[in-house]
Structure 1
Amino acid sequence: MERRHDIDWLRVIAIILVLYFHTAMIFTAEWDWHIKNDELSYLWLEFNFWLSRFRMPLLFFISGYGTYLALRKRSPWKYLKERNNRLMVPLIFAMIVIVPPQVFFERLFNGATMSYASFWPTIFEMTPYPEGNLSWHHMWFVLYLFIYSAVLLPLFLWLRKDKVKNYLNRLIEKHSWISYVLLIVPTVLIYVTFTVYTNRTNALIGDWGWMTYWGSFFLAGYFAGITPAMWKRIESDTRNLVGLALHSTIILNYFRWNRVELEGISETLYLILLAVSGWLWLLSMLSLGKRYLNKPHPILAYANRAIYPFYILHQTIIIIIGYYIVTLVDEGILAKYLFVSTISFILSVAGYEYFIRPFRIMRFLFGVKELPKKEKQKDFTKLEERAEFKAA
């Protein structure tokens, strides 16, 4: 099976969008976050509302598809061992080293006066955030991935059996529209009957509604892996999917902007549209990606290894830079946003290039997969050539 470069591109794009989403949270009206600018914007709220339709669903879907690829080549035990090394090790490291500065600067923003040296030991009091200072913050995504990977493993092993895969592919080849039913309906049912009645906490305990919702996209990504017939339908429907996604957002915003009172059946239909809109945007991204992004590029080869450390680092950098910008700089929202997002992007890439990529222990702590020996040699040769060029 040839490598799907479009999936790699979409993973990179989705995580970069996370950086711009989190930067916008500093300036977004109505939505709370760790630090906030004095002046807030409803336009940034609209930007983040649109991204929120597909940002996390796309990441969970791609992760589910990656699970399918991983299980094709590994035994269940080897798969779980790799998941532990790539997910739980970076999570624990981040909770001790990467996340605490976020909590510290949030405390400073809210008026606390302390040094980081006196703050850091308090995380070992094991009092969960927000009452205490121990938190995983944005690394909740990594924890949820590990849980899905372990809990759903028996189902994945059953789905990958030839008789199951063959049946599903024959069914979709005969009735291709069924692929949309199998993907969308479970998510809509979960969202309308369960998720909307729970608070999203990202704290695992008490977050069952949203954890189940995100898990449906993870499972859908694995399902997409075992049903190549589904991709043919998605790729052929690009125009329709993009059009429906745009119209779903227009309809949602009509109700939101006009503050239409909804109750009973109208409220249920609105909630269904919210869930369906997320899928339409997700399927549009997959369709466009399959059509236009399924090609290799040197930038993609680098980004594939850099993007996970980039994700781990980005929010800490945003909060630190954002803290100084919103408290010390008297500028407009757009100037602040562009400055924080650009500097955070540059520092996240630089953090990987200079402090993670060159050191094996750092690559391990940040979950970077080691290159095969041949690729390592090529990578080392490039470094030598770069050094010789600089020396010249």
Structure 2
Amino acid sequence: MQRRHDLDWVRVCAFALLVLYHVGMYYVTWDWHVKSPAASDALEPFMLLSSPWRLSLLFLVSGTATAFLLGKAQRSAEAAGNRARFLGGRSWRLLLPLIFGMLVIVPPQAYYEVVEQLPGGYHDGYLAFYARYLTAYDGFCDADGCLDVPTWNHLWFVAYLWVYTVLVWLLWRLAPRALDAAGGLLARAMSGLGVLVWPVLFLGVARVLLVGRFEQTHALVDDWYNHAQYFGVFLFGFLIARADGVWQAIERLRWPALVAWLASWAALIAYFTRFADADPPEALRMAMRLGWALNQWCAIVAVLGFAHHWRPGDSRVLRYLVAAVFPVYILHQTVIVVVAHHLKPLAIPPLVEGPLLVAITFAACFGGYEVIRRVRWLRPLFGLRTTGYPTPDAPALASEPR
């Protein structure tokens, strides 16, 4: 198979949007690690443009990439006359950066969260904090509860991605015929309007039944609503990876999906504004949970449909960005937290400080990537191969260009 450059671009743009979103979290009223003194609800409607679907899109593209990776591993094993060694390689590429990130990259986020949010502040310095961080200290508490350390913060995505990869690998090893049958059934059901209808129903039912019962914790063991939606779209991406009819249907329905996405976004804004200080009727609450699912899936179809329609080709810029995505992702939230905290005493107006924070974050992360890719022992700590490059049929989520 040829490389899916459209999915490469989708992944690159989705992670760039993630950086912008996390900068925005500093300026809105929603809970986050550090907060701007000027935080308000002004940006929240724009944050809602992507918050229902951004991570679901990444998990779907990851599922598609996993299908390509698994197929590539199987073909290589058949050519060499041995068994496919897929899970070990994926575990190395995901778990090593996760562990390194929890020990080195993430602790500054937790430190500045404690400095800013602990009653009375925290004055013992970073080294004293880090010693407590490593020993799972449970005394960093405020009125909302205690901070769990060590933590993976934004790297929860990597942990979940590894777990979902293991689950799909087990299905592939233990029930390959059932997996193929499910893929065929899905391809037939989603070759037309079903590509909009069935996923919206699935995501809507999951939200109606689970979101009120299970808090979204990103803690893996108790995050059942997130598992339902994220593993659901991951498995969907895996099953439709080679289903050309589904991708053609996504392309055909890109305009209706775009209209439905924007209309449902406007409805969500109106709903949250109207009931900001009051409880909505229960029937309306359930209806808006379905509206959230409509927004979530139609945005994904619109993004994938336009990317598939435009079919962007290969380029040196794309190859560079594809390689940089994982290191930049690992670094970005720590850069945002640290820089935002140290910009705060300057009292820069938010309209100036926000773009400055975005520019510093991207510059620092890509500067870090330039160092990482040149240092052999650093590369695997950020998900890059020590040597070598993927072959031309590598999947859309390969960490490096061919």
If the length of structure 2 is used for normalisation, what is the TM-score? 0.86
Match of 1:123 among 126, 133, 155: 133
Q: 1:262 to 1:373 in 2, by over 3 A?
A: closer
Matched to 2:220, the amino acid is L
Listed one character per residue, the Cα deviations across residues 37-95 of structure 1 (whole Å, up to 9, x for unaligned) are 11112221122122202211111111111111111112486221122111111000011
Establish whether residue 100 from structure 1 lines up as the match of residue 107 from structure 2: yes
Establish whether residue 89 from structure 1 lines up as the match of residue 96 from structure 2: yes
Q: Secondary structure at the match of 1:196?
A: coil
CA contact under 8 A between 1:160 and 1:226: conserved in structure 2? Answer: no
Q: Secondary structure at the match of 1:6?
A: helix
**Deviates further, 98-107 or 67-76:** 67-76
Q: Distance in 2 between matches of 1:281 and 1:359?
A: 39
Establish whether residue 325 from structure 1 lines up as the match of residue 343 from structure 2: yes
CA contact under 8 A between 2:187 and 2:240: conserved in structure 1? Answer: no
Q: Secondary structure at the match of 1:11?
A: helix
CA contact under 8 A between 1:309 and 1:352: conserved in structure 2? Answer: yes
- For residue 386 of structure 1, what is the aligned residue in structure 2? none
Task: State the shift of 1:261 in Å.
Answer: 5.1
CA contact under 8 A between 1:195 and 1:213: conserved in structure 2? Answer: no
Q: Secondary structure at the match of 2:2?
A: coil
**Unmatched 5+ stretches in structure 2:** 75-82, 141-145, 392-402
- For residue 369 of structure 1, what is the aligned residue in structure 2? 385
Matched to 1:69, the amino acid is F
Establish whether residue 263 from structure 1 lines up as the match of residue 262 from structure 2: no
Task: State the shift of 1:210 in Å.
Answer: 1.7
- For residue 13 of structure 2, what is the aligned residue in structure 1? 13
- For residue 114 of structure 1, what is the aligned residue in structure 2? 124
- For residue 303 of structure 2, what is the aligned residue in structure 1? 285
Pairing 1:1-392 to 2, within 5 Å after superposition: 1-29=1-29, 31-75=30-74, 78-110=85-117, 111-127=121-137, 130-156=146-172, 158=176, 165-166=183-184, 168-170=186-188, 172-173=190-191, 176-259=192-275, 262-326=280-344, 328-354=345-371, 356-370=372-386, 372=388
CA contact under 8 A between 1:148 and 1:218: conserved in structure 2? Answer: yes
Q: Secondary structure at the match of 1:197?
A: coil
Q: 1:171 to 1:59 in 2, by over 3 A?
A: closer
Q: 1:127 to 1:143 in 2, by over 3 A?
A: farther
Task: State the shift of 1:125 in Å.
Answer: 0.7
Q: Distance in 2 between matches of 1:8 and 1:36?
A: 33
Listed one character per residue, the Cα deviations across residues 235-260 of structure 1 (whole Å, up to 9, x for unaligned) are 11222111111111112222222228
If the length of structure 1 is used for normalisation, what is the TM-score? 0.88
Q: Distance in 1 between matches of 2:364 and 2:134?
A: 28
Q: Distance in 2 between matches of 1:159 and 1:67?
A: 18
Q: 1:238 to 1:149 in 2, by over 3 A?
A: same
Matched to 2:370, the amino acid is E
Task: State the shift of 1:133 in Å.
Answer: 3.4
CA contact under 8 A between 2:52 and 2:296: conserved in structure 1? Answer: yes
CA contact under 8 A between 2:196 and 2:298: conserved in structure 1? Answer: no
CA contact under 8 A between 2:190 and 2:246: conserved in structure 1? Answer: yes
Matched to 1:200, the amino acid is Q
CA contact under 8 A between 1:317 and 1:344: conserved in structure 2? Answer: yes
Q: 1:215 to 1:364 in 2, by over 3 A?
A: same
Q: 1:371 to 1:13 in 2, by over 3 A?
A: farther
Q: 1:82 to 1:340 in 2, by over 3 A?
A: same
CA contact under 8 A between 1:165 and 1:226: conserved in structure 2? Answer: no
CA contact under 8 A between 2:254 and 2:305: conserved in structure 1? Answer: yes
Q: 1:358 to 1:142 in 2, by over 3 A?
A: same
CA contact under 8 A between 2:182 and 2:239: conserved in structure 1? Answer: no
* Identical aligned residues as a percent: 28
Task: State the shift of 1:153 in Å.
Answer: 2.4
Q: Distance in 2 between matches of 1:170 and 1:96?
A: 46
Q: Secondary structure at the match of 1:133?
A: coil
Aligned residues: 370
Q: How well do the aligned residues superpose, as a CA RMSD in angstroms?
A: 2.2
Q: Secondary structure at the match of 1:78?
A: coil
Listed one character per residue, the Cα deviations across residues 296-334 of structure 1 (whole Å, up to 9, x for unaligned) are 1211101111100000000000000000112x1112212
Question: Which one has a larger percent helix, Structure 1 or Structure 2?
Answer: 1
Matched to 2:50, the amino acid is L
Q: 1:256 to 1:10 in 2, by over 3 A?
A: same
Q: Distance in 1 between matches of 2:386 and 2:240?
A: 27
**Deviates further, 237-246 or 138-147:** 237-246
